[in-house]
Amino acid sequence: MDTFDYIIVGAGTAGCVLANRLSASGRHKVLLLEAGGADRNVWIHVPLGYGKLFTDPRVNWLYQSEPEPELDNRQIIQPRGKVLGGSSSINGLLYVRGQPQDFDHWRQLGNAGWSFDDVLPYFRKAEDQERGADDLHGTGGPLCVSDVSEPHPLCEAFIGASEQAGFPRNEDFNGPTQDGAGYFQLTARNGRRCSTARGYLKPARKRHNLTVVTGALTTRILFEGRRAVGVEYRQGGTLVSARAAAEVIVAGGAINSPQVLQLSGIGPAALLQSHGIPVIADMPGVGSDLQDHLQVRIAYRCTDPITMNDVINDWRQKVAAGLRYLFYRKGMLTIGAGYAGGFFRTDPALESPDVQAHFIIFSSDKSGARLHPFPGFIASICQLRPESRGFVHIKSRDPAAAPAIQPRYLSAQADRDTMVAGLKLLRRIMGQPAMQRYIAEERAPGPACVSDDDLLAYIRSAATTIFHPTSTCRMGSDLTAVVDERLRVRGVAGLRVVDGAIMPTVVSGNTNAAIVMIAEKGADMILADAKAGAPAAVAA
Ligand SMILES: Cc1cc2nc3c(=O)[nH]c(=O)nc-3n(C[C@H](O)[C@H](O)[C@H](O)COP(=O)(O)OP(=O)(O)OC[C@H]3O[C@@H](n4cnc5c(N)ncnc54)[C@H](O)[C@@H]3O)c2cc1C
């Protein structure tokens, strides 16, 4: 059995950051295991290509939720990256950190070292901000952050309409204030995606002390007593074991990290026993507290043929867009999952925005579906801090079988109220003169949908995820928290979780940037503990 100092399970957003930072000194032998393959698919690297990766089983786990009771029992798609870079290789590229209040709240929950002032240096360390460095932004980091390649008249109309509705223009959602409307920045450079596989892993690949194994599904963590000593993984048809002299670090993301822990005997005892898995630590919190952002979209038919639908549906414009991208790295192919957007308060008395809008210049019936054959665009709204909590539970001992994913969207009354208020707010913006000039028709939900009951019924029938599951191995100091503030799994030794699963509460924005920050900080803590000879264990 090969021995490493650190074994990292999952080469996703967090895993690639960890692999780079833990192997940087050359002193530690690091093994990075990834269930998916190399990031060779060309659509990974072209920003607009994310639309093609939604349904591609070669790079995507293609999970589905269980039927959701508050969403008319619909099953909601749960795409997750299964490739080097993980979900950062298939995501919509939007660079949004969340609000300073999110991290201050984490600190108030008892997590020392996680206030905004504590985490800001890690956001800055990670970043290579195209606009240059300032108090809030960094340059020279591995994660390229860039402006959209050019403005668009529909985005200008959306921002103008927001101003007409009383919300300011905001040039930087990661600046001094999140409020208002503007263009998103993207994790991209020169029109190419900057996943963590590109930003962090690629420059580290040639290091002699880093081993990267793709096509390697971790089946379980190996324990001696209550100490994690290695992992077992399946590559092709073969089971391989590897030993970790220092630590096993699980970075499988919010769906797979709790699954791997549960398969290994760390989780709710009754659940594990029902699948015949010997219990190493009875931890009811593993897989609980699942949170996600739910979004609902309003689709419009546009008056003018200036949308992406018009480009995609006309081969001449399509070829021209391809050439423009090839030669100038501009145009439609450089667009992420939102072009413009905004952060708004449904009640002016709130301390910070509670909803986020995404504005895109194409329209389709659902995410990843064919674009409409007429000019169209979409504005969506999502609630930033949902109170609903769900779970991820294994359904089988088979590590290749999908777990049950039950976000329990809208199970809290506050979430239903905020979604309805958000939809009304978005319609108010879209009803302003700057935007009305481009609206031929509201196609969905349509003008007949007016009362709060109508709006809630529409949300139940049409809302879907915006792909931000978190918190299934929640950091905290309470009895059901899974990791402590140094991201060590409670009650066992030699084991951490470092990824989106550890968020105490989902951040008020898109999740990738905050997970890069978590991994940067996690790597720092792992290296500091190694230097200090601190045990990677905490009392249960
Ligand atoms: C379609 C989509 C669009 C999104 N858009 C945005 C956006 O625009 N902006 C934004 O900020 N965020 C966005 N997100 C969310 C963001 O990308 C994720 O929150 C983030 O990438 C998750 O990081 P992670 O490290 O927690 O997990 P992941 O990046 O998902 O990494 C987990 C990795 O572990 C691997 N793995 C899992 N289980 C095993 C196992 N048993 N053995 C070996 N390997 C395993 C997986 O294959 C994967 O590579 C989007 C997500 C999706 C899916």
pLDDT tens across 332-342, in order? 999 999 999 99
pLDDT confidence of residue 367: 72
CA distance 269 to 263: 11
Helices 13-23 and 512-532 pack at an angle, to 10 degrees, of 30
- In order, the DSSP letters of 60-98 are B--EEPPPBGGGTTBPPEE--B-BTTGGGGTS--B----
Counting from 1 in the atom list of ligand 1, the atom nearest the Cα of 86 is 49
Confidence check: pLDDT of 535 > 70:
no
Residue % of the chain over a pLDDT of 90: 96
Q: Across residues 47-52, what is the average pLDDT? A: 92
Task: Give residue-wise pLDDT tens across range 454-505.
Answer: 999 999 999 999 999 999 999 999 999 999 999 999 999 999 999 999 999 9
H helices of 165-250, in order, are: 196, 202-204
Task: Give residue-wise pLDDT tens across range 245-282.
Answer: 999 999 999 999 999 999 999 999 999 999 999 999 99
Is residue 358 part of the annotated active site? The answer reads no
pLDDT confidence of residue 539: 45
Task: Give residue-wise pLDDT tens across range 403-445.
Answer: 999 999 999 999 999 999 999 999 999 999 999 999 999 999 9
Q: Which residues line ligand 1 (CB under 6 A)?
A: 9-15, 33-36, 79-82, 86-88, 90-94, 96, 216-218, 251-254, 256, 260, 336-337, 467-468, 499-500, 510-513, 515
Catalytic residue among 28, 105, 293, 468: 468
Confidence check: pLDDT of 239 > 80:
yes
Reported for 66-72, long-range contacts at CB under 8 A and 24+ positions apart, including other chains, are: 66/404, 66/405, 66/406, 68/406, 68/407, 68/408, 68/409, 69/408, 69/411, 70/408, 70/409, 70/410, 70/411, 70/416, 70/460, 71/409, 71/410, 71/460, 71/461, 71/463, 72/460, 72/461
438 alpha carbon – ligand 1 mean position (Å): 36
What is the length of the chain? Answer: 540
Tokens of 450: 């007016």
CA distance 492 to 283: 11
Model pTM? 0.98
pLDDT confidence of residue 538: 45
pLDDT confidence of residue 242: 98
Task: Label residue 536 by pLDDT band (50, 70, 90).
Answer: low
519 alpha carbon – ligand 1 mean position (Å): 13
Counting from 1 in the atom list of ligand 1, the atom nearest the Cα of 83 is 49
